[in-house]
């Protein structure tokens, strides 16, 4: 590949791992790094090897489903059940990111990237 003609794709999973870390950092800095990670997942998923595409798909779904859970939890906090939903969302989000980070570090595909759970 000649320099400047095409963008090199990451076959080692370092970008997928970076996205998981950005997602986790988003919990501490208000979500802006999660949005950056989402954009990166969309950009890098095309042309990636199959096992990495499963990670990018999983990351994109983690962001959007997590946003839905957080929104529902946020609007239902006034009836108290929302607090339980938000705690569930927090654990769900962390578990998905840690699971994905572990699989990406091993060079393994996400077994069921389309799941709503873990």
- pLDDT at position 114 is 81
The answer to whether the beta carbons of residues 50 and 62 sit under 8 Å apart is no
Euclidean distance between CA atoms 34 and 40, whole angstroms: 10
- pLDDT at position 10 is 56
- pLDDT at position 4 is 37
Please classify residue 25 by burial: count the beta carbons closer than 10 Å to its beta carbon, then call 0-12 exposed, 13-18 middle and 19+ buried.
middle
Residue carrying the six token digits 């607090």: 83
Long-range contacts of 30-35 (CB under 8 A, 24+ apart): 34/63
Averages of pLDDT over runs of 10 residues in the chain (118 residues) are: 42 89 94 95 92 95 96 94 96 96 93 81
Residue carrying the six token digits 């990237």: 113
- pLDDT at position 112 is 86
- pLDDT at position 84 is 96
Please classify residue 41 by burial: count the beta carbons closer than 10 Å to its beta carbon, then call 0-12 exposed, 13-18 middle and 19+ buried.
buried
The answer to whether the beta carbons of residues 33 and 23 sit under 8 Å apart is yes
Sequence ranges of the domains in the chain? 14-106
């Amino acid at each position: 590949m000649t320099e400047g003609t095409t963008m090199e794709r990451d076959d080692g999973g370092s970008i997928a791992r970076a996205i998981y870390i950005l997602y986790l950092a988003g919990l501490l800095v208000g979500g802006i790094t999660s949005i950056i990670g989402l954009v990166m997942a969309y950009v890098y998923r095309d042309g990636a090897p199959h096992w990495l595409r499963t990670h990018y798909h999983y990351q994109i779904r983690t962001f959007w489903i997590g946003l839905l859970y957080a929104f529902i939890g946020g609007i239902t906090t006034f009836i108290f059940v929302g607090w339980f939903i938000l705690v569930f969302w927090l654990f769900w989000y962390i578990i998905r990111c840690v699971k994905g980070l572990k699989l990406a570090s091993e060079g393994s595909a996400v077994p069921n990237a389309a799941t709503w759970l873990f």
